A and B are shown apart, each in its own frame.
Chain A
Amino acid sequence: MSGGAEKTTGIGIWVEAIRRDRKATIGAVILALFVLLAVVGPFVAEDPDELVGVPLQPPSMQHWLGTTGQGQDVLAQLLVGSRTSLLIGFSVGISVVLIGALIGVTAGYFGGRIDALLTLLFNVFLVIPGLPLAIIIAAYLPAGPFTIMFVLIVTGWAWNARVLRAQTLAQRKRDFVFASVVAGESSFRIVTREILPTMTSLLVSQVIGGTVYAIGAQVGLEYLGLGDVSAFTWGTNLYWAQNDSALLTGAWWTFVPTGICVALVGFGLTMLNSGFDEITNPRLGLERSWRAYLLSKGRKPQRSTPVVLEGTRD
């Protein structure tokens, strides 16, 4: 950070990180577009339930994305669906990180038997396949967005707990934590004021990863028919496309736009995340400025010491 009048605290550092990284800028723009769509879309769209014309019409001036197998407007359903889908995505993304932080940090901070027990707990949840578990829980609950959110949180928190435990273990051994212990601070204060702030960027990147997971898994569950099939979300749109045999009648417009939206949101979030890597890993930033410096002197940058980029979440 070059200091001076530049804001280096609070929101400023995040905005700066996004602005500086081309990938993050692209991601932020894509994401902003979809958030706008989710907020405004449902107000400007026509009634998604209304039968507006002949079923399975291809895209035309009148219906930009054609009509569904029931004769409803595909674009209207897409717009209305975006709000629920994104809302579920972000709330699950935030919830799994909160639960993961609670369990992971507790395990890492207190260690001993608590750690052994909690580690066992999240390892078991990690190894039990998530989708089948989500399905059997969702099948017993009333169909709807809250059920989907609930099952995605139940099956999604373990990964975050594991990563945050490891991070807490590393921080626990640092001098400033020992100093706080000696100073007589309470465990709660040490965790919330000393340890958690050092992980801010990791937490943000986990929320982003969790949201990507939630949107994908949500679409999958709803595609199976576990959502409220009379509501409009991206997943139920695909459910109806499959149910109306859109594929075997050649009606690509009933499922292609939805999938592209899901993927764009996921891609945008992943790109956004890469910009935050620099805050977590200052070496990446150093390497970038060093290369820029060499280029400005008219020299070709050599391969520098390799730095591991953060991979995508699997």
Chain B
Amino acid sequence: MVYIFQRLAFYALAAWVALTLNFFLPRLMPGDPATALVARLQGRLAPGALEALRETFGLTDAPLISQYFMYLSHVLRGDFGISVAYFPAPVSEVIGTGLIWTIFLAGTAVLISFAIGTLLGVMAAWWRGSWLDTILPPSLVFLGAFPYFWLAMLALYALGFTLGWFPLGHAYGDDLTPGFNWLFLSDVVRHGALPIGTVVLATLGGWLLSMRNTMVSILGSDYVNLARAKGLPPSRVVLRYAARNALLPSVTGFGMALGFVLGGSLLTEIVFSYPGQGYLLVQAVRNQDYPLMQGIFLVITLAVLGANWLVDIVYLWLDPRTRESGG
């Protein structure tokens, strides 16, 4: 239990670092981009909104430290300021519209990729020297060398544009209203297939190799040999004895890969005009919408930190040793 709280404290610290970075970035950057933005919006925004924007960027006379606490209290209340690109909507509202789609896209992709990749890794280690072990890993590594979003472009071009098997973008058809019914859900799956599929394809190789390599070393260990000598069925030896332990490094890697995959899936969203954070991010970059950009950064960071903590809990459950030393 101590372990869980230690990790929680660590993530709280990481969140604080992210918050603080977020606060100081616009204030420390050369060339004063914030002043330029405010100047550009002069006349386009209501005086009150302009004032709020100035405050967000620290273009006030208040001392830095009081600005900092002001900022923290705003963020804690979920107030990230006002979006420039989607004026006059507050950033939190803009982000809220896309959050569920990003979590759906990146979350599903990571889980599918992890499950299939790990399973393939187990199989590659068991049938060492077969095509599964010699041909599949290098080809997946080659696929993994492509930028995710480029694979997405290719898939969209070949399967969506040329063959017309999949829709060309968005999360669901324009003629549907979101709801918990078969028509809508199946449409979401149809729209999600390509973006999720390309991210899975690009990340499969990493999981496969990591699982295969750990499996190979564990399959040579004494306790596995003993299990085999006892005459246990191979499936039991592989899955219950070897795979469960070989999973540990992959689970540790899972937390770290999350942020990485999320970055890739943000770019994939753009290719498919998928209405998630990536799409909002590109709008923010194009319109120099700093409040929106920073809000997205914070929300994504918090989501990744939270997911990492969940992974830690899973790890605790998988590896009894951490339970003992931590308890």
B293 engages A267 (CB within 8 Å): no
Specify the chain A residue showing the minimal Cβ separation from B277. Answer: A132
- Residues of chain B within 8 A (CB-CB) of A190 are none
- Residues of chain B within 8 A (CB-CB) of A216 are 147
A224 to B297, CA, bound (A): 15
B18 partner, pick from A128, A140, A212, A262, beta carbons under 8 A: A128
A136 engages B25 (CB within 8 Å): yes
A72 to B284, CA, bound (A): 28
Specify the chain B residue showing the minimal Cβ separation from A260. Answer: B146
A131 engages B293 (CB within 8 Å): no
The distance from the CB of A312 to the nearest CB of chain B, in whole angstroms, is: 6
A139 engages B210 (CB within 8 Å): no
A258 to B149, CA, bound (A): 12
Specify the chain B residue showing the minimal Cβ separation from A131. Answer: B263
A311 engages B14 (CB within 8 Å): no
Interface membership of chain B positions 120-137, coded 1 if the CB is closer than 8 angstroms to chain A and 0 otherwise: 000000001000000000
In the complex with contacts A219-B147, A270-B145, A128-B301 CB distance below 8 A? yes
What total of chain B residues lie within 8 Å of the partner, measured CB to CB? 71
State the majority secondary structure of interface residues on B: helix
A129 engages B22 (CB within 8 Å): no
- Residues of chain A within 8 A (CB-CB) of B258 are 129
B205 engages A312 (CB within 8 Å): yes
B156 engages A247 (CB within 8 Å): yes
State the majority secondary structure of interface residues on A: helix
Specify the chain A residue showing the minimal Cβ separation from B206. Answer: A314
The distance from the CB of B118 to the nearest CB of chain A, in whole angstroms, is: 13
A135 engages B285 (CB within 8 Å): yes
B145 partner, pick from A140, A141, A212, A241, beta carbons under 8 A: A212
Query: In the complex, which residues 212-241 of chain A have their Cβ closer than 8 Å to any Cβ of chain B?
Result: 212, 216, 219-220, 223-226, 238, 241
Specify the chain A residue showing the minimal Cβ separation from B304. Answer: A129
The distance from the CB of B302 to the nearest CB of chain A, in whole angstroms, is: 10
A252 to B11, CA, bound (A): 43
B253 engages A314 (CB within 8 Å): yes
The distance from the CB of A128 to the nearest CB of chain B, in whole angstroms, is: 6
B31 partner, pick from A120, A142, A263, beta carbons under 8 A: A142
A180 to B161, CA, bound (A): 66
A248 to B85, CA, bound (A): 25
Specify the chain B residue showing the minimal Cβ separation from A225. Answer: B285
Which A residues fall within an 8 A CB radius of B? 120, 123-124, 126-133, 135-137, 139-142, 212, 216, 219-220, 223-226, 238, 241-242, 247-248, 250, 252, 255-256, 258-259, 262-264, 266-267, 270, 303, 305-312, 314
Listed by A's residue number, 30 A-B pairs whose Cβ atoms lie within 8 Å are A124-B17, A127-B255, A127-B259, A127-B305, A129-B260, A131-B262, A131-B263, A132-B297, A135-B281, A135-B293, A139-B285, A139-B288, A140-B25, A140-B26, A140-B29, A142-B31, A219-B147, A220-B149, A220-B264, A224-B282, A242-B271, A247-B161, A255-B150, A259-B146, A259-B147, A259-B150, A263-B142, A264-B145, A314-B256, A314-B257
Which B residues fall within an 8 A CB radius of A? 10-11, 13-14, 17-18, 21-22, 25-26, 29-31, 33, 128, 141-142, 144-147, 149-151, 153-154, 156-157, 161-162, 168, 205-206, 209-210, 213-214, 216-217, 219-220, 253, 255-260, 262-264, 266-267, 270-271, 281-282, 284-286, 288, 290, 293-294, 296-297, 300-301, 304-305, 308
Known: A131-B260, A223-B270, A262-B150. 17 other contacts (CB 8 A): A127-B255, A127-B259, A129-B259, A129-B262, A132-B296, A133-B18, A136-B297, A139-B293, A141-B29, A141-B30, A225-B286, A226-B285, A238-B150, A241-B153, A259-B153, A306-B217, A312-B144
